[in-house]
Amino acid sequence: MADTLAIGNYSDEDQKALQEKSAVFIGSTDDLDGLEPGQREAIRAVAFKGHKPFGPAQMDLLPNLGLIANYGVGYDAIDIDAASARGVKVTNTPDVLNDDVADLAVAMLIMQGREMRQASEWARSGQWKDKGEYRLNRKVSGGVAGIVGLGRIGRDIADRLAAFKMEIHYFARSEKETPGWTYHADPVSLAKAVDYLVVALVGGPDTEKFVSKEVIEALGPRGIIVNISRGTTIDEAAMLDALEQGKIAGAALDVFLNEPDIDARFYDLDNVVIQPHQGSGTVETRAAMGQLQRDNVTAFLAGKDLLTPVN
């Protein structure tokens, strides 16, 4: 019987590679109890993709589970304490996606600042031809950017923005060695100092609503929020209020609460760039993520060291 269970929607290539490992497939953790008890008992490794909770209740349905190999750098859907308590190892897919996520963050920031969505619509709808030039917007290069969370992805974003001659400020748990960037121990002080607030925190309960109403309002009426982390890291209701009331200039968001059924208030806002959580969504990067996930499964089943352990 199969010792590997694949949870989630995989690309054809990933599916084929997992099939070669004789994996059993289910769509989400909700489908676990649809498996026969014998099938569940045989599972030693799970290749996990998705954002539905993988907690104690799900783990207890797999009594011989030893590994959850997450497809993604963020593993906030997995209860790490519950996994550790059961002797279950967890791995993720760090680094291979940094470039794509950082590229998207910068692209969204420029898209929002230069009103590229509205300007494109101006041309497509014939208004350029009929009414003339699109209105002037705002210069992005040389602005002041604040990165919330200077981990691997945050740093790659900051490096890119520095190449746009931006002054870089950041918040992190501790001051880092950086090339002349300004550290803020307090996110409100960071928000006050910058025009662009780019959120690159890890998800999970520790960072819930870290970008609070106070932080959002400290950003001020020229402020633009960019989020490529998780919807949970921002007080989303407070951000929506601020966007509707013009307390901040705009937002560019790849992540939301309750994806993909996001708050309908977003759809009515002209000052928001919306992306469908596609930060790592390129053929190249998703292939690398799938490979790293499977390499962790292979290492575990062979009793070797895991490549990218979390716990």
Q: Which of residues 163-222 bind ligand 8YV (CB under 6 A)?
A: none
* Comparison of 49 and 155: residue with beta carbon closer to ligand 8YV: 49
Three-class secondary structure of residue 208 per DSSP: coil
Active site residue 114: no
Single out the residue of 7, 73, 94 nearest to residue 229, CA to CA. 73
Is residue 10 at the binding interface for ligand 8YV, with CB under 6 A as the rule? no
CA distances from 7 to 10, 49, 94, 101, 223 (A): 9, 6, 19, 23, 40
- Measured N-to-C along each axis, helices 283-301 and 12-20 cross at an angle, to the nearest 10 degrees, of 10
What binding mask, one character per residue, do residues 78-97 give for ligand 8YV by CB under 6 A, x or -? -------------------x
* Comparison of 74 and 143: residue with beta carbon closer to ligand 8YV: 74
Q: Catalytic: which of 51, 230, 286, 294?
A: 230
Widest CA span in the chain:
69
* Comparison of 54 and 181: residue with beta carbon closer to ligand 8YV: 54
What binding mask, one character per residue, do residues 264-283 give for ligand 8YV by CB under 6 A, x or -? -------------x--x---
Active site residue 169: no
Pick from 74, 113, 146, 250 the residue near ligand 8YV by CB under 6 A: 74
DSSP alpha helices (H): ranges in the chain?
A: 12-20, 37-42, 56-59, 80-85, 98-113, 116-124, 127-131, 152-163, 187-193, 213-219, 236-244, 283-301
Pick from 46, 62, 68, 72 the residue near ligand 8YV by CB under 6 A: 72
Number of residues binding to ligand 8YV, judged by CB under 6 A: 9
* Comparison of 177 and 261: residue with beta carbon closer to ligand 8YV: 261
* Comparison of 77 and 161: residue with beta carbon closer to ligand 8YV: 77
Interatomic CA distance for residues 59 and 296, integer angstroms: 19
Single out the residue of 91, 31, 92 nearest to residue 61, CA to CA. 31
Q: Least Å distance between CB 220 and ligand 8YV? A: 29
Is residue 71 at the binding interface for ligand 8YV, with CB under 6 A as the rule? yes
Tell me the HSE value of 77 on the side-chain side, using a 13 A CA sphere: 23
CA end-to-end span of the chain, whole Å?
A: 28
* Comparison of 45 and 97: residue with beta carbon closer to ligand 8YV: 97
Single out the residue of 201, 180, 41 nearest to residue 105, CA to CA. 201
Span near ligand 8YV by CB under 6 A; candidates 22-30, 56-64, 69-77, 143-151: 69-77
Active site residue 86: no
Three-class secondary structure of residue 1 per DSSP: coil
The DSSP symbol for 6 reads E
Q: Least Å distance between CB 279 and ligand 8YV? A: 6
Span near ligand 8YV by CB under 6 A; candidates 54-62, 66-74, 135-143, 167-175: 66-74
Three-class secondary structure of residue 199 per DSSP: strand
Catalytic residue numbers, as ranges: 230, 259, 277
Interface residues with ligand 8YV (CB under 6 A) are: 49-50, 71-74, 97, 277, 280
